[in-house]
């Protein structure tokens, strides 16, 4: 059957830890991961689209049900394919989906729980995805994505040290695989900056923000969400840095001039006319 690869685009702001007025506090924003579905039957891909639409409209329970329905449909398709090939059916309870498919389902479910504010369930799904990834080759891109998503959840619950550790692991993996100038590397740099920002290390955060901004400027147009997000983060960090800075400007002193320049020239002209007389 035809297979498709579905693009899932998640860019959400930080969840507010201090109520609806958080925007006024100038809080920095994380950039969430882009999740790609592995090749799957068209019927399953359509169910993924339904689940994504429900996720984006904040129907989180319905989104979870749609993803579970997609998983069941995919498993049925996989069993039917095995029967057509004349293979022996897998033992009861044995996974029938490809490994990357199972990892993807754990990641999208984690994204839904993350958006719903259920950090415990989001972490549980990510830990399961991490367990599945142990069977993948070392430095597989899925592991970097899991570290990035773990970093986001830990940031939401104010565990900034843990979050930074996962973001740094993700950064090391991406720099060695996709390269230091890749947009996904820029995403990770921005998120490390957010952690440092929350830890009070504003000047260090700016270093990472500027690196991310440089990457995004080379890869995207001005209105791209990633570029606008890191630009706002830089602006907020600068405001925080100046507000908390120990540098103080000297007191302004008024400049006292006996005569303004125009008055001086007028007096000089008067003196010259008097001498001529």
DSSP 37: P
Tokens of 248: 């103080």
pLDDT of 123 > 70? The answer is yes
Q: How far apart are CA 48 and CA 42, in angstroms?
A: 10
In the predicted model, what is the mean pLDDT of residues 127-142?
92
In the predicted model, what is the mean pLDDT of residues 40-50?
93
Of 10-19, 88-97, 156-165, 259-268, which has the strongest mean pLDDT? 156-165
3-state secondary structure of 21: helix
Residue 77 pLDDT: 86
In the predicted model, what is the mean pLDDT of residues 53-75?
95
Residue 78 pLDDT: 83
| Closest to 60 in 3D by CA, of 145, 13, 117, 124 | 117
Tokens of 144: 């970097």
Q: Which of 28-32, 49-53, 168-172, 252-256 has the lowest mean pLDDT?
A: 252-256
- Across the chain, mean pLDDT equals 81
Task: Report how far apart, in Å, the C-alpha atoms of 58 and of each of 50, 106, 201 are.
Answer: 13, 19, 34
Residue 95 pLDDT: 61
Residue 97 banded pLDDT, cuts 50, 70, 90: confident
pLDDT of 102 > 70? The answer is yes
Task: Report how far apart, in Å, the C-alpha atoms of 239 and of each of 28, 81, 155, 233, 234 are.
Answer: 12, 59, 21, 10, 9
pLDDT of 254 > 70? The answer is no
Residue 153 pLDDT: 95
pLDDT of 18 > 50? The answer is no
Residue 273 pLDDT: 65
| Closest to 32 in 3D by CA, of 220, 170, 169, 128 | 170
Assess contact for 241 and 201: CB atoms under 8 A. Answer: no
Residue 239 banded pLDDT, cuts 50, 70, 90: confident
pLDDT of 264 > 70? The answer is no
Length of the chain: 277
In the predicted model, what is the mean pLDDT of residues 76-96?
64
In the predicted model, what is the mean pLDDT of residues 60-88?
83
């Amino acid at each position: 059957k035809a297979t498709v690869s579905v693009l899932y685009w998640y860019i959400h702001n930080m969840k507010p830890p201090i109520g609806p007025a958080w925007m006024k506090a100038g809080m920095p924003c994380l950039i969430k991961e882009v999740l790609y579905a592995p090749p799957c039957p068209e019927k399953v891909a359509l169910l993924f689209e339904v689940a994504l639409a429900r996720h984006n409209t904040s129907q989180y329970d319905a989104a979870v049900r749609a993803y579970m329905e997609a998983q069941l449909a995919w498993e049925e398709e996989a069993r039917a394919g095995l029967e057509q090939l004349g293979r022996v059916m897998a033992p009861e309870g044995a996974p029938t989906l490809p490994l990357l498919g199972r990892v993807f389902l754990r990641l999208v479910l984690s994204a839904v729980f993350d958006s719903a504010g259920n950090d415990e369930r989001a972490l549980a799904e990510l830990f399961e995805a991490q367990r599945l990834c142990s069977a993948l080759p070392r430095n597989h891109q899925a592991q970097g994505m899991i570290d990035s998503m773990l970093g986001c959840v830990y940031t939401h619950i104010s565990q900034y040290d843990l979050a930074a550790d996962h973001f740094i692991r993700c950064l090391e993996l991406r720099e060695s695989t996709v390269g230091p100038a890749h947009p996904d590397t820029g995403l990770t740099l921005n998120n490390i900056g957010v952690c440092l920002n929350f830890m009070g290390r504003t000047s260090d955060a700016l270093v990472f923000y500027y690196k991310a901004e440089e990457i995004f400027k080379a890869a995207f147009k001005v209105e791209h969400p990633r570029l606008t997000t890191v630009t706002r983060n830089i602006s907020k960090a600068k405001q925080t840095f100046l507000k908390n800075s120990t540098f103080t400007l000297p007191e302004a002193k008024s400049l006292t001039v006996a005569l303004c320049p125009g008055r001086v020239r007028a007096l000089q002209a008067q003196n010259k006319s008097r001498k001529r007389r």
